[in-house]
């Protein structure tokens, strides 16, 4: 319809149509364009909503962390006369630490992959080992969940500890072991938006409610083996207790 009627809209579909018309080694088909549009919905909605649930869950089962984060939210709300702005969200240091730790413990995508463009030799992993040759057009799988929950890189990985990402500790994280959005030039293009909307939702929740576990809340989480992404068996169960003024 866009082609037939000359419709131009400033969106992703138009960019993909332009890429198709320019021509490349891989000729984009209509199915390719539809698939890209679909994966944007899937990648953007499912992962962000699941991250929000995991953050809320950990706050509910860790009331001390929740209380500290609520104090930070209340402080910035008071400075902004009760409203949340982009600037105030950007200044919430502990909020960033909490969300970063949730991404560490529960990466939205449990692995990422890369397509090899040229032959490359990886050095020996340990003394006495052989180097590894990666041939062109090989697919390399990077286990984000495995790396981020490995005690070698993150001691006591089962513990939800936002202090891993404080100013003193975050620079000590071993390079390339923390990749909830991937890394490099092909990392997730929606990472900043996902972080901002998650922080905004949590700030709004903490402003109005106290998050608490229920009888159905399972701790520690047991993952549903039938799901491709990380999902707790039976879903998320939390209660929201309305805050009284001044508390």
**Which segments are annotated as binding site for heme?**
188
- Burial pattern 43-69, b for ≥16 Cβ within 10 A else e, equals beeebbebbbbbbbbbbbbbeebbeeb
Distance in angstroms (rounded) separating the CA atoms of residues 36 and 41: 9
Classify 147 as helix, strand or coil: helix
Q: Which residues are annotated as a binding site?
A: 188
- DSSP letter, residue 151: T
> CA-CA distances (angstroms) from residue 28 to 88, 113, 166, 185?
42, 21, 44, 21
- DSSP letter, residue 245: T
Classify 239 as helix, strand or coil: strand
Please provide the DSSP assignment of 7-72 as one string: ---SSHHHHHHHHHHH--SSPPPHHHHHHHHHHHHIIIIIHHHHHHHHHHHHHHH-HHHHHHHHHH
Beta bridge partners of 151: none
Helices 93-105, 191-208: axis angle to 10 degrees equals 110
- What are the backbone angles phi and psi of residue 77, rounded to the nearest 5°? -65, -40
């Amino acid at each position: 319809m866009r082609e037939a009627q000359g419709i131009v809209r400033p969106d992703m579909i138009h960019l993909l149509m332009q890429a198709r018309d320019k021509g490349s080694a891989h000729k984009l088909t209509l199915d390719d364009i539809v698939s890209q549009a679909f994966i944007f919905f899937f990648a953007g909605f499912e992962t962000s909503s699941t991250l929000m649930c995991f953050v809320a869950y950990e706050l509910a089962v860790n009331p001390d962390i929740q209380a500290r984060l609520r104090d930070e939210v209340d402080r910035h709300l008071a400075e902004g006369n009760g409203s949340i702005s982009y600037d105030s969200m950007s200044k919430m240091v502990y909020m960033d630490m909490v969300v970063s730790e949730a991404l560490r413990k529960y990466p939205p995508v449990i692995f990422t992959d890369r397509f090899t463009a040229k032959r490359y030799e990886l050095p020996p992993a340990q003394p006495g080992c052989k180097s590894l040759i990666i041939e062109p057009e090989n697919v390399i799988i990077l286990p984000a969940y495995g790396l981020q929950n490995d005690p070698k890189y993150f001691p006591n990985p089962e513990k939800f500890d936002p202090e891993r990402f404080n100013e003193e500790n975050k620079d000590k994280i071993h390079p390339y072991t923390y990749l909830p959005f991937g890394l490099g030039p092909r990392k997730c293009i929606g990472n900043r938006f996902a972080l901002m909307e998650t922080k905004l939702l949590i700030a709004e929740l903490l402003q109005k409610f106290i998050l608490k576990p229920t009888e159905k809340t399972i701790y520690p989480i047991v993952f549903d083996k039938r799901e491709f992404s990380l999902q707790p068996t039976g879903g998320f169960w939390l209660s929201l207790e309305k805050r009284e003024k001044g508390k």
